[in-house]
Amino acid sequence: MISNAIELAVELLKKEDIIGFPTETVYGLAGNIYSEKAIDTIYRTKQRPSFNPLIVHIKQIEDLNKVAIEIPESAKILAKLFWPGPLTLLLKKHASVPDRITAGKPTVAVRIPNHPVALSLLHQLDFPLAAPSANPFSSISPTSAEHVENYFGDKLPMVLDGGVCKAGIESTIVGFHDDEIIIYRLGAISKEEIEKIVGPVSLLNKNENAPEAPGMLSRHYAPKSTLFLTTNVLEQVKLFPNKKIGLLLFKQPEKEQDVACQIILSPSGNLQEATSKLYASLHELDSMQIDIILAERFPDNGLGRTINDRLERASKNR
Annotated binding site: 25, 48, 52, 57, 107, 111, 131, 133, 141, 171, 185, 221
The least CB distance from residue 93 to ligand AMP, in Å, is 7
What's the N-to-C CA distance of the chain in angstroms?
31
Taking CB within 5 to 8 Å according to partner kind, which of ligand AMP, Mg ion, none is near residue 53?
Answer: ligand AMP
Among 20, 53, 86, 162, binds ligand AMP (CB under 6 A): 53
Site string for Mg ion, 129-158 (x = CB under 5 A): ----x-------------------------
The least CB distance from residue 316 to ligand AMP, in Å, is 15
Among 57, 185, 283, 313, binds ligand AMP (CB under 6 A): 185
Residue 58 touching ligand AMP (CB under 6 A):
no
Residues in region 97-156 near ligand AMP by CB under 6 A: 102, 105, 107-109, 132-133
Q: Which of 178, 179, 183 is CA-nearest to residue 193?
A: 183
Contact 152, 134 (CB under 8 A): yes
Taking CB within 5 to 8 Å according to partner kind, which of Mg ion, ligand AMP, none is near residue 137?
Answer: none
Contact 230, 294 (CB under 8 A): yes
Taking CB within 5 to 8 Å according to partner kind, which of Mg ion, ligand AMP, none is near residue 23?
Answer: none
Residue 90 touching ligand AMP (CB under 6 A):
yes
Burial 267-288 (b: 16+ CB within 10 A, else e): eeeebbebbbbbbbbbbbbbee
Q: How many CB atoms lie within 10 A of CB 112?
A: 23
Plot region of 138 (φ>0 → left; ψ -120 to 50 → alpha; else → beta) = left
Angle between the N-to-C axes of helices 271-287 and 145-152, in degrees from 0 to 180, rounded to the nearest 10: 30
Residue 24 touching ligand AMP (CB under 6 A):
no
The least CB distance from residue 137 to Mg ion, in Å, is 8
Query: Which residue lies nearer to ligand AMP by CB, 194 or 247?
Result: 194
Residue 45 touching ligand AMP (CB under 6 A):
no
Q: Which of 267, 278, 280, 268 is CA-nearest to residue 305?
A: 278
The least CB distance from residue 141 to Mg ion, in Å, is 5
Contact residues for Mg ion (CB under 5 A)?
133
